[in-house]
């Protein structure tokens, strides 16, 4: 089956160029020209990947990225951002919000397609069942549902284990509190009292992970991500 790509870009010449090159590579494409339509189309079509320009009329690309990553239906859709040369800060914020990659304009269509293929391939690898993962002094056995830190067993509740598993599977991407609530607790459209549930579980999880607690990183006003690097 052909992978589907949603192009979100207000410059029609770029849309035309991307549409032509992506179809030539065997992808299915659709295109929208502003942020509102991007959210609507992403919800309806659930594309395999979104190419998202940051400079959009009305709702900009960062707002679109945040909204997509906050909604459980679209949070897992990979995003490659297109940025102008002077948008270094926006680029960093976009990656913190959960975008998978970025390209600076002007860009080579061939390189963009290579990156699209790489991101889609990583997504497929991420969906493979996890067995045993070792990160620093942390070892997680997903089949035996066990965790050790520096070879010492760590007793986690079912929800704490699911929380740790979800963060690890995200491969460094930021997960919003709403996403975690919906996927682990089954709460949608979380209210404040429910979002505190995530923070409390994160706090107890960090306490239990001790020296490896630093790997659970807080992204201010948004959520959490798991840090693989020491």
Dig out the tokens for 187 from the structure. Answer: 């709460």
**Which strands form 132-135's sheet, in the order they lie side by side?**
132-135, 138-141, 146-149, 152-154
Residue with tokens 């979100």: 8
pLDDT of residue 191: 47
pLDDT of residue 93: 77
Dig out the tokens for 134 from the structure. Answer: 């070792």
pLDDT of residue 8: 97
Distance of alpha carbon 86 from alpha carbon 106, whole angstroms: 12
3-state secondary structure of 133: strand
What is the number of alpha carbons within 13 Å of residue 174 lying toward its C-beta?
24
Indicate the pTM of the whole model: 0.62
Residue ranges of the chain whose pLDDT lies below 70: 1, 85-88, 125-130, 187-195, 230
Other C-beta atoms closer than 10 Å to the C-beta of 128 total 8
Nearby residues of 149 by Cβ (< 8 Å), 6 or more positions away: 137, 138, 139, 209, 210, 211, 212
pLDDT digits (tens, 9 = 90+) for 67-96: 998 887 888 899 999 988 666 677 777 777
Which DSSP category does 135 fall into?
A: E
pLDDT of residue 197: 85
pLDDT of residue 189: 45
């Amino acid at each position: 089956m052909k992978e589907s790509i949603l192009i979100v870009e207000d410059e029609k010449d770029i849309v035309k160029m991307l549409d032509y090159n992506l179809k030539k590579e065997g992808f299915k494409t659709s295109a929208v020209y502003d942020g509102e339509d991007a959210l609507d189309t992403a919800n309806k079509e659930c594309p395999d990947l979104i190419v998202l320009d940051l400079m959009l009329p009305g709702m900009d690309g960062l707002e679109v990225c945040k909204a997509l990553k906050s909604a459980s239906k679209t949070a897992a859709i990979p995003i490659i951002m297109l940025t102008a040369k002077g948008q270094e800060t926006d680029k960093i914020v976009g990656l913190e919000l959960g975008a998978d990659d970025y390209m600076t304009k002007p860009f080579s269509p061939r390189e963009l397609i290579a990156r699209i293929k790489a991101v889609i391939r990583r997504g497929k690898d991420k969906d493979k069942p996890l067995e045993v993962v070792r990160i620093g002094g942390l070892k997680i056995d997903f089949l035996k549902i066990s965790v050790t830190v520096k070879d010492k067993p760590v007793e986690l509740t079912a929800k704490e284990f699911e929380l740790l598993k979800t963060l690890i599977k995200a491969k460094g991407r930021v997960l919003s509190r709403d996403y975690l609530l919906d996927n682990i607790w089954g709460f949608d459209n979380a209210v404040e009292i429910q979002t505190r549930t995530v923070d409390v579980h994160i706090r107890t999880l960090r306490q239990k992970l001790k020296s490896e607690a630093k790997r659970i990183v807080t992204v201010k006003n948004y959520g959490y991500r798991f840090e693989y690097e020491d």
